[in-house]
Amino acid sequence: MSKKEITATNIEIKVPDAFKKLSSKIHEAKTPSTSEPRNTYSMITRVTTRPNPFSRSITIDIACDHSKHVIVRMTQVNGKIIRMFGWYLMKGTNITSINELSSLEQGDYFIDIIDQEGNILFTTPVQK
């Protein structure tokens, strides 16, 4: 049995299209003065973030009217992604936390809920 050498020239990494879209749609119309959450898709009926301002972690509580895979993305105002993860929302109430945020600088951040096509379903500003 022969071993195949792996080099940077023969490795192909496939990036899902949704992640490609995420990098091009980071806060197109957001500014630090945006203080109101925005819901751009009716499947999400409520999003609560607490505490706000946060220090070490932030809890996200989402109510939705049907189940759906989403991506949660936390960014700085300049668009730099701090955390991003997939989440399967069930119909009803869903709760998760983003932990280990104590090393972040004081300032404004955004939490986005994004569908698999890269559309921002909901966005809310948070502060540290």
**The pTM is what?**
0.68
Counting residues of the chain whose pLDDT is more than 70, the rounded percentage is 67
Domain limits, the chain: 17-127
Q: Reduce the DSSP state of residue 57 to 3 states and report it.
A: coil
94 HSE (CA, 13 A, CB side): 21
Q: Please tell me the predicted confidence (pLDDT) of residue 41.
A: 56
Q: What is the CATH number of domain 17-127?
A: 2.60.40.1930
Q: pLDDT tens, 81-94?
A: 999 999 999 999 99
State the sign of the Cα–Cα–Cα–Cα dihedral 100, 107, 83, 45: positive
Q: Reduce the DSSP state of residue 88 to 3 states and report it.
A: strand
How distant, in Å, are the alpha carbons of 8, 30, 66, 74 from that of 49? 42, 18, 20, 12
**pLDDT exceeds 90 at position 33:** no
The position carrying tokens 């505490």 is 51
- In the chain, how long is the greatest CA-to-CA distance? 62
The amino acid at residue 56 is R
